[in-house]
């Protein structure tokens, strides 16, 4: 009788982990992940998740920058000018 042991480098990601990540994304970004992951390797799926997570973070940051600051906090324009003074390239 020949015994074939299972591969030792098997990568698994639970459905629960993917669902948690997808629930944090905007609906359009989650749809991109689901549609693009139909026949992908795990590495490609993770790259897609990281990319759309970065886009989601950027969207939320832009939205937060347009909210009026509480008293004592810097406004978006003040933060922008300070970043420019420090050498950051700000659109």
Closest listed residue to residue 53, CA positions, set 27, 28, 24:
24
Domain segments of the chain as ranges: 15-85
Q: What is the pLDDT along the chain (91 residues), one digit of tens a residue?
A: 455 555 555 556 677 877 888 888 889 988 888 888 766 777 788 888 888 989 998 888 888 777 776 777 887 788 888 888 888 887 6
Q: DSSP secondary structure string, the chain?
A: ----PPPTT-----HHHHHHHHHHS-HHHHHHHHHHTTT--HHHHHHHHHHHHHHHHHHHHHHHHTSPPPTTSPPHHHHHHHHHHTT----
| Model pTM score | 0.54
């Amino acid at each position: 009788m020949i015994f074939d042991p299972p591969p030792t480098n098997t990568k698994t990601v639970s459905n629960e982990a993917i669902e948690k990540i997808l629930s944090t994304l905007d609906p359009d970004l989650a749809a991109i992940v689901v549609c693009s992951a139909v026949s992908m390797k795990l590495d490609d799926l993770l790259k897609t998740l990281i990319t759309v997570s970065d886009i989601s973070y950027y969207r939320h940051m832009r939205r937060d920058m347009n909210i009026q600051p509480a008293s004592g906090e810097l406004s978006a324009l003040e933060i922008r000018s300070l970043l420019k003074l420090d050498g950051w390239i700000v659109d």
